[in-house]
Amino acid sequence: MGFEDSGLRQRSTTSRISSVPQVELTPPNQRILRSRDSTHSWWWSTALFLFEPIRLGCSLLFGIVKFFTSFLWSDPRNQVTDPVGDVRNFIQHFKETYGSVNTSFDVDGNSNPTESSTSDSFPPFFEGTYADAVQEAKQSLRFLIVYLHGDSHEDTHRFCKDILQSEDVLRFLRNSNELLFWGCNIESPEGYRVSRTLREHTYPFIGVIGLTNIPISESGVYSGSSTRMALLGRIEGVLEPSELVDQLNSILNEHQTAIITARLDRSEREMNAQLRREQDLAYEASLAEDRAKVAAREAQQRSAALVAEQQAKDAKRKEDLKKAHINRKRIWQNRLPPPPKFEEGSTVQLSFKMPRGSRVSRVFNLNDSIKLLYYFILSQDDSPTEFEVQSNFPKRIIPCQPFEESDVEDYIDTPDNKMDCDEPEVITDWSRKCQNDPPSFFDIDLTRPEMLFVLNKDA
């Protein structure tokens, strides 16, 4: 399981390393500054010059021995398994080693070490890998200040204590709008990997990475320039705070044009993209408005068509009902038999007053159903469409309407139901046929001559 986890970490680290933006390490406009310790006298410089061949020989011999021994013992710094952890461990080590610590006493007299300086007294280290720092600097169009920490160098402690934490340097490094600050110990795998990439000569080492215009030449002829990430400056050795800040500002100012140009280009692209988005939104809104207008117009047209269709149906139905009433009147005018002769005891003569004031009368057989009375009134030219018959002595409604005569639509002339209004069959038998038929004149006690009133139910 441990080997599997190790493999996963190595693959993750390899993926992270491969994603580092390409950095030009030796651009033609790179500034290199190696400080010389002013405390050494001329004879010390002469001695260093005389012993330089010996130093080079020893360095070569050490390199050869290291090469062959690497086949037997691999350098653990070559195994980059937790680059973020390496960076965070260095930051924690820096704060614990170079932070000022005072001792205070609690109420029991026990000593408690406390940091006298806040987190603002430390450089604002970027808590991520070198790859993350370079990527962030490129994406945010800022400079990246790289610090490689060598514990064994004699100037390291002074540089970290007095230079990096000086007011001038801290003020410079806190300009987060313009730069990032990243550091790591070269004894850690992540710091060692970056050290092999930047190839510093001594410590402390400060590198400046950022965008710059690099000339392009073809066959020795200048053909333009390209803007790329590059190692713009190398500062090796100890400088006083003010001089270090001046050198860094000088490097940044020298390449500020590339950063400003890139920012302007990005701002222009973002403005153009925003303008395109706004135009697209406006276009979509216009399309939506047009679609809404078309939909509303189509809905209005459909509604108008439905209204017109319904009006046509209503008009046709009204006309059909009007014709149905006429058909019904004509049919029953021809179906009614002639009135019988008046005979005392077997017939009765009734008079009817129509809603418009006209009067009619007829002789009825007492044994016939009073539905004959209904159809007689229905056949009159001035009879209402819907009516009922009322007597005054006693005052009552005569139930003369037949059950089967409840729907006038039966008289609508259709292709399947042709109305023969002119030659209908005369009905001679008006006796009560079933329980639903209205009663006879005799049964309802209409045996004496009297005046009945026809009432318009639609009035």
Three-state SS at 443 = coil
Tell me the residue ranges of DSSP E strands in 289-366. Answer: 347-353, 359-365
The predicted-structure confidence for 84-120, as pLDDT tens digits, reads as follows 999 999 999 999 999 854 333 344 444 344 443 445 6
d(Cα 429, Cα 371) in Å, to the nearest integer? 12
Q: Map out the domains of the chain with their CATH numbers.
A: 2-34+75-103+113-254 (3.40.30.10), 334-456 (3.10.20.90)
pLDDT of residue 115: 40
CB 255 within 8 A of CB 24: no
pLDDT of residue 81: 78
d(Cα 81, Cα 72) in Å, to the nearest integer? 21
pLDDT of residue 373: 95
The secondary structure of residue 411, as a DSSP letter, is: G
pLDDT of residue 369: 95
Is the pLDDT at 360 greater than 70? The verdict is: yes
**Comparing C-alpha atoms, which of 411, 406, 410, 399 is closest to residue 439?**
399
The predicted-structure confidence for 45-80, as pLDDT tens digits, reads as follows 565 567 667 766 765 776 576 556 555 545 555 566
Could you tell me the pLDDT band of residue 435, with boundaries at 50, 70 and 90?
confident
**What mean pLDDT is predicted for residues 203-223?**
81
Sequential DSSP letters for 142-171: -EEEEEEE-TTSTTHHHIIIIITTSHHHHH
The predicted-structure confidence for 401-413, as pLDDT tens digits, reads as follows 998 776 777 788 7
Antiparallel, parallel or unpaired: β 31-34 and 221-236 = parallel
φ, ψ dihedrals at 412, nearest 5°: -75, 130
What residues contact 141, with CB distance under 8 A and at least 6 apart? 211, 259, 262, 263, 266
pLDDT of residue 346: 94
The predicted-structure confidence for 323-353, as pLDDT tens digits, reads as follows 888 888 999 999 999 999 999 999 999 999 9
What residues contact 451, with CB distance under 8 A and at least 6 apart? 350, 351, 352, 353, 392
The predicted-structure confidence for 122-160, as pLDDT tens digits, reads as follows 999 999 999 999 999 999 999 999 999 999 899 999 999
